[in-house]
Amino acid sequence: MSGRKPPRLGLGLSALLGEAAADTELTPRSLSVTALEPGPFQPRGPISQPELADLAVSIRAHGVLQPILVRPKPGNPGQFQIIGGERRWRAAQLAQLHDVPVIVRDLDDRTAMAAALVENLQRQDLNAVEEAQGYQRLIGEFGLTQEALGQSVGKSRSHVANMLRLLGLPVAVRDMLADGRISAGHARALLTAPEPARLAALVVAKGLNVRQAEALANQAPRPEHIERGRDTDAEAVVRDLTTRLGIKVELRRAGRGGRLTLHYGDLDQLEGLLRLLMPD
């Protein structure tokens, strides 16, 4: 149909990468499931079997309604790497389909990574940690502002900023957030609290709601490592850096000087931080 709108993925990639992302054919074609394989840029974690089983039931009844985004596998003619839609591909195999609809794009590694992240972020089926890590990778790889990134994935700048702040939490808290034991609201309440991992464990153990978690964080005793009379300024700096960098930041004063500490949770997070601090 000539009036059909292009997929949101095409719009997001165009906003992110410019015209280079929109110069390929969007008409689906059919490929054998055996010609496809998972790509190297999947931002989601492991896919659960119950999730796949439910999707397979739907695919068995209605088919694969949304094409899978793939690219030719470098150095291997006839094989294709999945950029977006690995769940649909795996569920189609469970449903015993022989062929699936695909959109083929000839993308380099950098653009394929962006496409995989944008596709997953727009589908809104990532957990909060995966979403935040996706934003961080796009910012680090492409040097985007939070405003530009938000436009490319259909989110507000404040939403992107709030999600990036979650990466400043300790790994234990991020694990609780990723597996659903606490919500993003709980996690944000603990961001500036001392001992957030201990408080998060209390939130889970007592089944506290977000408002109760906020009260718990506000009641927690705080270390006296910042000069009296300048707490507000220092806390504002910490909040701003945490939002801009998406990591945990600590500021300690010592006389006229002090120490600024940036915490990273894994090598991907460190790599993104280095790209921001030392751009080419």
Q: Report which of 46, 273, 87 is spatially closest to residue 178, judged by C-alpha positions.
A: 46
The 68-72 sheet, strands edge to edge: 29-32, 99-104, 68-72, 80-84, 36-38
Distance CA 176, CA 173 (A): 5
β-pairing, 248-254 with 80-84? Answer: unpaired
Residue listed under structure tokens 């609290």 = 193
Known catalytic residues? 86
